[in-house]
């Protein structure tokens, strides 16, 4: 088949998939993928349609699917639109220049144009019609031409006035939303009743507004913001017809309708960008979901001249926040060997922008995950990245799978392992490791990690310097670092006396080390930073850790049987113990993790998930320990609290399922401040 034929075939698959997800999202209120992943598919479809067919189809131009047959269908008096999206400052500037060109063609002066920037509320659009100041009807957007009559449920929204203070005729547009706390409460209740959970607050709001029984909607405490005037007649009130978007907001507020207080007039597109950056950083602190900023030309006269495309207004645009999920293509799968010999599969991806950075790799975790996803080279996948979390593949879009793809089979050998490269399944967990751990690659990886910030933090001694030291036979293992002299280093290529002195000074500082950092640096299998801290707190000294029994280890909260067995294996490993003996000749070990406790949180177990705004994860965990609490990495029935930041992921869902108390960052701060 020719490349053109392949593109056409893929286009039809993609169009069919987008239509399917449009229907799941808008009609059934039961999305199967995130809004961000859907946006990525829609953008790809639009681009491919232009490339292959030279025009957009009815699918990409569609405002929304047709209204449900379960509700009375009503034709809108004023047609409803959805905004096009931009995702970067350069795209925003391109939109402005396109608007300017269009207005100039119509003979308009653009030098005095201003904008109104508003939060793009993540909810369900609603069109409200008042006659003589009384609420007459509430409609969903539907397909833009016809909507669903949801007056019976809209009336249950506490902030929606049924009667205005002035007897005006008004059609206004707003967004119905559900707060995060209400959403969490609703999903807990649905879980108890063994009902399916809502995917997100937006779909919970949509599902609530589109209930046949208004009592169901009433119990869910929906909220509302109104942001646009489609039609206004002041009648005998002497209220003037607004001439700008800002005046529309002031009019709506004067009539007692709930208006978002964070809207702002911006004189330039640079001021819009400043507003966007401000809320990109702070929107997670809001009680409602915001997925971007809506920008409109402020002057109604210019809005009318600019008009509309087949789908969207030319005078406005939605500037979306960086996606934490998007779609891309798997170009390869390789096995990566970690410093302890654990083998992790990694997907090589077609580079894609996500969460503010370009991503070309994502973890696949283990063989079981690959089999569960049935991921193959050539697949289109949804990936997720949030903050500093390593990107991961969430879902395979099998509808877009090319023909003749092959199931991925884990190899039996990996080059970076020692010996003949053989790997084996680790008993009790879903991972492989090298059979032999004597490869030069693994030896170097352990040395790199020993000197890294997570372990002994030997400033200036990174992989490049360690490689030079090894290649010049100045060290054989990490213990030899502490025997180095400045004159040995200064003669090496690229080094001067000052640089050599700095390296020796850093090594000298590292001789004073906490027990936790030493345990991390030893690269004991299954012992990461948190486990190392638990061992330090409960065992007290390195000598005690060398002698602790399996029975004593498994009763420590946060240390299970797999970790305990790994520690026992380390105790029995003659090479590891010889290295430790050699190290101890040079180190002074303190145990600063045994800290005075206020006892405030004694007996309480905490799990942290997501990105905290005002605290680092380490700072928050230390606050728990100082108050006598325990920090673990997984949610169980024994967990007392799950503290959530932005993008909390699956741990939040697990907490809700197990009915574990969920705390925001501010809730947590209040708790530890008591």
* Residue 431, domain member (yes or no): no
565 and 665, same structural domain? no
Mean pLDDT value of segment 57-74: 64
Which pLDDT score, from 0 to 100, does residue 287 have?
Answer: 86
Q: Would residue 561 count as lying in a domain?
A: yes
Both 579 and 629 in a single domain? Answer: no
Q: 520 or 494: which carries more pLDDT confidence?
A: 520
Sign for the pseudo-dihedral over CA of 597, 598, 604, 607: negative
pLDDT surpasses 70 at 598:
no
Does residue 64 surpass a pLDDT of 70? no
* Residues 177-186: tens digit of each pLDDT: 998 888 888 8
Residue 478 pLDDT: 93
Domain containing residue 403: CATH number: 2.40.50.140
Q: Are 597 and 626 within 8 A, CB to CB? A: yes
In this prediction, residue 27 carries a pLDDT of: 63
Please indicate, yes or no, whether residues 350 and 269 belong to a single structural domain of this protein.
no
For residue range 635-649, list pLDDT tens digits in order.
888 889 999 887 777
Q: How confident is the model at residue 293 (pLDDT cuts 50, 70, 90)?
A: very high
Where do runs of H (alpha helix) occur along 540-664?
542-547, 550-554, 561-572, 574-584, 617-626, 650-658
Phi, psi at 600, each rounded to 5°: -60, -40
Confidence of residue 577 (pLDDT cuts 50, 70, 90): very high
Q: Total domain count for the chain?
A: 5
- Banded pLDDT at 8 (limits 50, 70, 90): confident
**What CATH number has the domain bearing residue 282?**
3.30.470.30
Residue 191: predicted pLDDT = 79
| Residues 381, 295 within the same domain | no
Question: Domain end: 590, 621, 638, which one?
Answer: 590
Which domain CATH number covers 459?
Answer: 1.10.150.20
457 and 470 in one domain?
yes
262 vs 191, residue with greater confidence = 262
What tens digit of pLDDT does each residue of 376-397 get?
999 999 988 765 567 888 889 9
Q: Are residues 179 and 50 in the same domain?
A: no
Give percent above pLDDT 70 in the chain.
94
Between residues 228 and 531, which one has the greater pLDDT?
228
Q: In degrees, to the nearest 5, what angle opens at C-alpha 564 toward C-alphas 561 and 565?
A: 85
Indicate which residues carry an active-site annotation.
120
Residue 68 lies in a domain: no
Verify that 580 and 466 share a domain, yes or no. yes
- Tell me the pLDDT band of 4, cut-offs 50, 70 and 90: low
- Which pTM was predicted? 0.60
Q: What CATH number should be reported for the domain holding residue 25? A: 1.10.287.610
Confidence bin at 142 (pLDDT 50/70/90): confident
Among 42, 62, 82, residue at a domain's last position: 62
- Window from 1-5, 399-403, 428-432, 478-482 with minimum mean pLDDT: 1-5
Task: Return the pLDDT at 449.
Answer: 93
Reference 183, options 222, 212, 150; nearest CA is 222
Judge if 175 and 278 occupy the same domain: yes
**Is residue 417 located within the same domain as residue 349?**
yes
pLDDT of residue 357: 73
- Give domain status of residue 432, yes or no: no
Is 70 exceeded by the pLDDT of residue 401? yes
User: Rounded mean pLDDT of 508-533?
Assistant: 91
Judge whether 329 lies within some domain.
Answer: yes
Give a three-class secondary structure readout of 451-501: HCCCCCCCCCCCHHHHHHHHHCCCCCCHHHHHHCCHHHHHCCCCCCHHHHH
The predicted structure's pLDDT at residue 214: 83
CA–CA separation, 23 and 327 (whole Å): 19
More confident residue, 344 or 357: 344
Closest alpha carbon to 347 in 390, 386, 389, 316: 390
Domain range spanning residue 58? 3-62
- Look-up of token digits 């205005």: 164
Q: What is the mean pLDDT of residues 511-533?
A: 90
Residue 100: φ, ψ to 5°: -60, -45
Pairing of strands 85-86, 316-320: parallel
- Is the residue at 598 inside a domain? no
pLDDT for 89-120, tens place per residue? 999 999 999 999 999 999 998 888 999 999 99
Give Cα 32 distance to the centre of its chain. Answer: 17
Higher pLDDT, 373 or 189: 373
- Co-location of 456 and 528 in the same domain: yes
Sign, Cα dihedral of 383, 384, 388, 389: negative
The mean pLDDT of the chain is 86
Give residue-wise pLDDT tens across range 153-176: 999 999 999 999 999 999 999 999
Please check whether residues 260 and 335 belong to one and the same domain.
no
Q: Which of 13, 29, 62 is the last residue of a domain?
A: 62
**Which residue shows structure tokens 């283990």?**
366
Percent of the chain exceeding pLDDT 90 equals 41
Q: How many residues does the chain have?
A: 674
Could you tell me if residue 596 is inside a domain?
no
Residue 561: its pLDDT value, please? 85
Can you give the pLDDT at residue 157? 93
Residue 69 confidence (pLDDT) above 60? no
> What local confidence, expressed as pLDDT, does residue 420 receive?
85
The verdict on residue 119 lying in a domain is yes
Say yes or no to pLDDT of 429 above 80: no
pLDDT bracket for residue 311 (50, 70, 90): confident
- Mean pLDDT confidence for 484-501: 83
CATH number, residue 636: 3.40.50.10190
Helices (H) and strands (E) in the chain, counts: 25, 24
Same domain, 49 and 84: no
Distance in angstroms (rounded) separating the CA atoms of residues 529 and 514: 12
Phi-psi region of 523 (alpha: psi -120 to 50; beta: other; left: phi over 0): left
């Amino acid at each position: 088949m020719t490349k053109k034929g392949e593109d056409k075939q893929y286009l039809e698959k993609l169009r069919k998939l987008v239509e399917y997800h449009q229907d799941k999202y808008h009609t059934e209120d039961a999305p199967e993928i995130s809004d961000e992943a859907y946006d990525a598919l829609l953008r790809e479809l639009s681009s491919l349609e232009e490339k292959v067919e030279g025009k957009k189809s009815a699918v990409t131009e569609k405002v929304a699917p047709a209204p449900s047959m379960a509700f009375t269908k009503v034709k809108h008096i004023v047609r409803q639109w959805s905004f096009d999206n931009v995702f970067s400052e350069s795209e925003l500037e391109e939109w402005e220049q396109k608007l300017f060109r269009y207005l100039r063609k119509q003979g308009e002066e653009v030098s005095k144009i201003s904008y109104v920037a508003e939060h793009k509320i993540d909810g369900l659009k609603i069109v409200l019609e008042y006659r003589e100041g009384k609420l007459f009807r509430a409609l969903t957007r539907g397909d833009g031409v016809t909507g669903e009559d949801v007056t019976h449920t809209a009336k249950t929204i506490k902030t929606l006035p049924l009667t205005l203070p002035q007897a005006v005729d008004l059609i206004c547009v707003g967004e119905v939303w559900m707060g995060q706390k209400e959403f969490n409460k609703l999903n807990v209740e649905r879980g108890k009743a063994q009902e399916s959970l809502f995917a997100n607050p937006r779909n919970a709001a949509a599902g609530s507004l589109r209930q046949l029984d208004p009592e169901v909607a009433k119990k869910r405490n929906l909220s509302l913001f109104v942001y646009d005037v489609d039609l206004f007649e002041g009648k005998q009130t002497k209220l003037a017809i607004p001439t700008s978007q800002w005046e529309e907001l002031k009019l709506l507020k004067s009539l007692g309708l709930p208006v978002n207080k964070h809207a702002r007039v911006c004189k330039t597109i640079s001021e819009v960008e400043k507003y966007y950056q401000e809320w990109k950083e702070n929107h997670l602190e809001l009680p409602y979901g915001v997925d971007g900023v809506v920008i409109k030309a402020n002057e109604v006269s210019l809005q009318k001249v600019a008009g509309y495309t087949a789908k969207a207004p030319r005078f406005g645009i939605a500037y979306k926040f960086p996606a934490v999920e998007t779609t891309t293509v798997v170009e390869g799968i390789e096995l990566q060997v970690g410093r302890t010999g654990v083998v992790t599969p990694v997907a090589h991806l077609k580079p894609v922008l996500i969460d503010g950075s370009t991503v070309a790799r994502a973890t696949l975790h283990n063989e079981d995950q690959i089999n569960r996803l049935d991921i193959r080279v050539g697949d289109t996948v949804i990936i997720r990245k949030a903050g500093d979390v390593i990107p991961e593949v969430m879902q395979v879009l099998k509808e877009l799978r090319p023909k003749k793809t092959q199931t991925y089979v884990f190899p039996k050998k990996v080059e970076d392992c020692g010996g003949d490269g053989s790997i084996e399944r680790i008993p009790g967990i879903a991972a492989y490791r090298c059979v032999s751990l004597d490869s030069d690659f693994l030896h170097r990886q352990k040395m790199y990690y020993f000197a890294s910030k997570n372990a002994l933090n030997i400033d200036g001694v990174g992989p490049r310097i360690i490689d030079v030291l090894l290649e010049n036979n100045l060290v054989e293992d990490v213990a030899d670092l502490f025997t180095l002299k400045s004159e040995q280093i200064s003669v090496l290529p690229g080094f001067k006396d000052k640089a050599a002195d700095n390296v020796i000074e850093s090594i000298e500082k590292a001789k004073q080390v906490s027990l936790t950092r030493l345990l991390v640096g030893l690269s004991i299998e299954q012992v990461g930073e948190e486990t190392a801290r638990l061992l330090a707190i409960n065992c007290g000294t390195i000598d005690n850790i060398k002698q602790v029994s399996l029975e004593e280890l498994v009763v420590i909260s946060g240390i299970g049987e797999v970790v305990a067995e790994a520690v026992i294996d380390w105790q029995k490993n003659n090479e590891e113990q010889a290295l430790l003996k050699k190290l101890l000749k040079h180190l002074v070990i303190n145990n600063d993790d045994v800290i005075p406790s206020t006892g405030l949180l004694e007996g309480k177990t905490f799990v942290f998930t997501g990105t905290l705004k005002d605290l680092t994860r380490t700072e928050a965990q230390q606050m728990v320990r100082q108050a006598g609490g325990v920090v673990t990495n997984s949610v169980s029935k024994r967990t007392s609290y799950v503290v959530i930041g932005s993008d909390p992921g699956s741990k939040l869902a697990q907490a809700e399922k197990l009915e574990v108390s969920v705390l925001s960052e501010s809730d947590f701060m209040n708790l530890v401040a008591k």
